[in-house]
Amino acid sequence: RQAWNRLEALLGAVPQQPERTPMPAPKGAIAAENVTVTAPGRQQIILKGVSFALTPGDVLAIVGPSAAGKSTLARTLVGVWPIASGAVRIDGSDLRHWDPERLGLFMGYLPQDVELFGGTIGENIARFRASKPEDIRAAATLAGAAQLIEEMPKGYDTDVGDGGVALSAGQRQRVGLARAVFGNPRLVVLDEPNANLDVAGDEALSETIRRLKGQGTTTVLVTHKPSLVTD
């Protein structure tokens, strides 16, 4: 009973999302306009006055020292962290005008710490939505992870365990990349996507970025290896 009461209090503290007018499918243009960001629940400014604009198919590498706010910017672009002032716009419309669930259909995000959910590889790639097997395989192929997955004893039906504990860090990262590109999103944000990759994984990631650019997907990546985008 006490746990139930705590859950009710926690859920009651979360404000209801207002209904938003449905927006058209985005083309992938994204702009930051004088964006200032603080960590949720804190007053200390992490990013101040950040501005840039990308057209569909552009690739932007965010490079800088540790604690410079790179991951904060990545979280802000996908709406994970709120904006203190300024605006992030997708196709000219403020990010806050979008319904988060609808926007998620057109956006892919790979966080620095890849978290998978208890279930199969295929379910994680498909974001636990009812999906066609060919769409799941297409995402794995785009991410350069198809061969890695197919070599596993149960392939796409391999259970990753809670948090993905059944996979290595590199395998989790590549499955997470496949999840990020699932459904051919118009914007993909990758935070240190090669932190746990070997040489083969690095090459697959570079090819994925080239393919995303070729199909007109706007890509933003946080990396310590600018060579990923020099091609």
What is the reported pLDDT for 10?
84
The answer for residues whose C-beta is within 8 angstroms of residue 204's C-beta and 6 or more apart is 143, 144, 145, 174, 197
CB burial of residue 58 (10 Å; 0-12, 13-18, 19+): middle
How many H-runs (helices) and E-runs (strands) does the chain carry?
8, 8
Burial of 103 (0-12, 13-18, 19+ CB in 10 A): buried
> Over the stretch 192-204, which tens digit does the pLDDT of each residue have?
998 888 888 888 9
pLDDT of residue 214 exceeding 90: yes
Instruction: Compute the distance between CA of residue 110 and CA of residue 190 in angstroms, rounded to an integer.
Output: 5
Give the percent of the chain with pLDDT over 90.
67
Rank 67-71, 102-106, 134-138, 222-226 by mean pLDDT and report only the highest. Answer: 134-138
**Cα separation of 93 and 207, whole Å?**
31
pTM exceeds cut of 0.75:
yes
SS3 label, residue 117: coil
Q: Measure Cα distances from 54 to 42, 92, 125, 153, 200 in Å.
A: 29, 11, 27, 42, 29
**Would you say residue 38 has pLDDT above 60?**
yes
pLDDT at 68 over 90: no
Tell me how far apart the alpha carbons of residues 117 and 42 are, in angstroms, rounded to a whole number. Answer: 29
Question: 152-169, pLDDT tens digit by residue?
Answer: 989 999 999 988 999 999
Decide: 160 and 175 in contact? Cβ < 8 Å: yes
